[in-house]
Structure 1
Amino acid sequence: MKKNIVPKRILITGGAGFLGSHLCERLLEQGHEVLCVDNYFTGRRRNVAHLLDDPRFELMRHDVTFPLYVEVDEIYNLACPASPIHYQHDPVQTTKTSVHGAINMLGLAKRTGAKILQASTSEVYGDPEIHPQREEYWGNVNPIGPRACYDEGKRCAETLFFDYHRQHRLRIKVARIFNTYGPRMQPDDGRVVSNFILQALRGEPITLHGDGSQSRSFCYVDDLIDGLIRLMESGSDVTGPINLGNPVEFTVRELAEQVIEMTGSSSPLVNHPRPDDDPSQRRPDISRASDLLGWTPSVQLAHGLRRTIDYFSALIGEGASP
């Protein structure tokens, strides 16, 4: 039996990005009005171009480090470059996006009475000393390293969310997102899934940082979007933080070998030095998401990789630029 949905006006910052564009689609399918806000630093207009004719969809170019004055019922705050290549390009702006962006969106939520969700990250755990990572773990983050602009910016954003909740009784939700992949990833984002697929499709050497023994857990985008919406729709007593990710763990080398097999590529594996503060392992404990949201990911890696490979194959065939 289909659940009755009360239409809402929903703001998505970073809405033209990888996750944001999928979230826009899903919320429109549910019958909501969607205001998509993006400054196109890493987001792309083409990610939402197919939505522009929908009368319930609105696209606005705006940088969340500046205040935004709109009327909305809910806010998904996804705005921030999320890959090391992008967030290290302008680390000061990355920190501003996380911190000033959170302050501006929280101020908007306070004025309008909107419920607000923060897209936080597994990077708040740093290079973890416990495995898998539970929400109670405070993390092992280098506050002055090259990744700190993102890690500490997101940690500060979480602080702001909970302080606004305690001080102003805002209705908040905080999701800690683990590695997510799928169509509309940026080709130049430097993440292992997009890197490996593009290198394999082009017949280029596949670059492993270190010996490839570091582990990651890969969640397909459809599952992640389902988790975000379930968290937003959860009861007022569920604030988070809640881990959202796939608990099935793979080494980076195993991922590379699977991509080579699925693309039929002859690309060799080559080893490069590991970047500073690169986490050696990453896997979420999703017990809280399962218990409170009834959420567990369902898309197997092979199925999600096939859809992602097909997307990048089409992108190469179109000659689309990153």
Structure 2
Amino acid sequence: MHVLITGGAGFIGSHLVDLHLGRGDKVHVVDNLSTGSRDNLASHLDRADFHFTEADIVTWPSLDEAVGWADRIYHLAAVVGVFRVLERPIDVMATNIAGSERLLRAVDHCGWRPQVLLASSSEVYGPRVDGCLREDMDLIVQADAPPRWNYAISKLADEAFALSYARTKAIPVTVVRLFNTVGPRQRGRYGMVVPRFVSQAVAGDPLTVFGDGTQSRSFTDVRDTVQMLDQLAGCATTDGLIVNVGGNHEISINELAERAIERAGSSSPVEHLPYEVAYGQEYVDIPHRCPDLTRLHGLIEYRPQWTLDATLDDLIARVRHREGAS
């Protein structure tokens, strides 16, 4: 199978590269390296069955050719991370929406129909305070749409484009709403909490909790996420599908901090930072976010194999190995 991965040098994308090359597929990655890294692909760069292009999906001149080559496309290219979303609200909207529409237009023009999996986000649910979030729920956009919600709005627009192309152009598409994926290669500098906590715990530094820490999330290891994405891509339909992808075991950020300290055998204290201090501006957080996985489990057989403790242990060991090698 020929696999095109936009944003494939990033956290999730590079794990998809590992998965598909490991099973004998040919993979082409395009990434502008704004948040991705060549290091994530270093072990593959000299392989004959792998090709990497450094380019922006919005302006890449070879997009049509790459789409026409592909049997399956994972569209992950986007401006991501809370810090980047708050710092570059215009780029978030322009890049995320234009990149997705350009890709879908190229698929329509390529002369045949590869499977398309488009990455959306649990952020599209907005400031809901419901229990588990279902794909058929009404979505909420906060009044005046502060920059905090630009990412969610861009992903919602991407979803609308994907479903419109599926239903009017017969493109087989699955839209996945990702919930808090964690694991190797994720970086804390863009606002991701788990790698930040792990690095701080290993170093013995204070764990910085943004807000009061009572907000809760459900975390899924990236190595489980890519297995689920692979199976879902095979379910792509011209009716269009929207599917939550993640785990449904919630943990508060305070509990997560304590868990990281415990697993690292650390004596790090926990410090709480007001959002205005952490992000440099007012920030509206979500009290809890957990997916309803009924639709996911009705479509695929795979179930996550990694527990949160196992992921934390693995990440702690990797940080210590890097520090020992430096």
Normalising by structure 2, report the TM-score.
0.91
Report which stretch shifted further, 78-87 or 53-62: 78-87
1:53 aligns with: 46
**Could you tell me which of 293, 297, 300 is aligned with 2:307?**
300
1:159 aligns with: 160
Report which stretch shifted further, 212-221 or 79-88: 79-88
Q: C-alpha displacement at 1:266, in angstroms?
A: 1.2
Where do residues 11-90 of structure 1 align in structure 2 (5 Å cutoff)? 11-67=4-60, 68-70=63-65, 71-90=69-88
For residue 196 of structure 2, give the secondary structure of its aligned residue in structure 1: helix
For residue 255 of structure 1, give the secondary structure of its aligned residue in structure 2: helix
d(CA) in 1 for partners of 2:304 and 2:80?
A: 21
1:105 aligns with: 103
Question: For the structure 1 residues 118 and 153, does the alpha-carbon distance in structure 2 shift closer, same or farther, using more than 3 Å as the test?
Answer: same
Question: For the structure 1 residues 111 and 315, does the alpha-carbon distance in structure 2 shift closer, same or farther, using more than 3 Å as the test?
Answer: farther
For residue 214 of structure 2, give the secondary structure of its aligned residue in structure 1: coil
Q: C-alpha displacement at 1:318, in angstroms?
A: 4.6
d(CA) in 1 for partners of 2:90 and 2:295?
A: 33
Question: For the structure 1 residues 318 and 82, does the alpha-carbon distance in structure 2 shift closer, same or farther, using more than 3 Å as the test?
Answer: farther
d(CA) in 1 for partners of 2:81 and 2:183?
A: 14
Q: C-alpha displacement at 1:317, in angstroms?
A: 4.0
Question: For the structure 1 residues 128 and 107, does the alpha-carbon distance in structure 2 shift closer, same or farther, using more than 3 Å as the test?
Answer: same
Q: Which amino acid aligns with 1:278?
A: D
d(CA) in 1 for partners of 2:89 and 2:170?
A: 32
d(CA) in 1 for partners of 2:84 and 2:249?
A: 27
d(CA) in 2 for partners of 1:152 and 1:317?
A: 43
Identity rate, percent:
35
d(CA) in 2 for partners of 1:69 and 1:237?
A: 20
Q: Which amino acid aligns with 1:138?
A: D
Report which stretch shifted further, 233-242 or 147-156: 233-242
1:95 aligns with: 93
d(CA) in 2 for partners of 1:315 and 1:87?
A: 29
Is the 2:172–2:238 contact (alpha carbons within 8 Å) kept by the matching residues of 1?
no
Report which stretch shifted further, 303-312 or 244-253: 303-312
1:4 aligns with: none
Q: Which runs of 5+ in 1 are unaligned?
A: 1-7
Q: Deviations over 1:215-241 (max 9, x none)?
A: 100000111001100100126367321
1:186 aligns with: 187
Pairing 1:256–2:249 present = no
d(CA) in 2 for partners of 1:196 and 1:99?
A: 32
Report which stretch shifted further, 287-296 or 64-73: 64-73
Report which stretch shifted further, 131-140 or 215-224: 131-140
Where do residues 240-279 of structure 1 align in structure 2 (5 Å cutoff)? 240-274=241-275, 276-279=283-286
Q: How much is the aligned-residue C-alpha RMSD, in angstroms?
A: 1.6
Q: Deviations over 1:19-63 (max 9, x none)?
A: 000000101112111001100000000000111122110000110
Where do residues 117-156 of structure 1 align in structure 2 (5 Å cutoff)? 117-142=117-142, 144-156=145-157
Q: C-alpha displacement at 1:146, in angstroms?
A: 2.1
Q: Which amino acid aligns with 1:86?
A: R
Q: Which runs of 5+ in 2 are unaligned?
A: 276-281
Pairing 1:196–2:197 present = yes
Q: C-alpha displacement at 1:141, in angstroms?
A: 2.9
Q: Which amino acid aligns with 2:15?
A: H
Question: For the structure 1 residues 318 and 238, does the alpha-carbon distance in structure 2 shift closer, same or farther, using more than 3 Å as the test?
Answer: farther
Is the 1:14–1:77 contact (alpha carbons within 8 Å) kept by the matching residues of 2?
yes
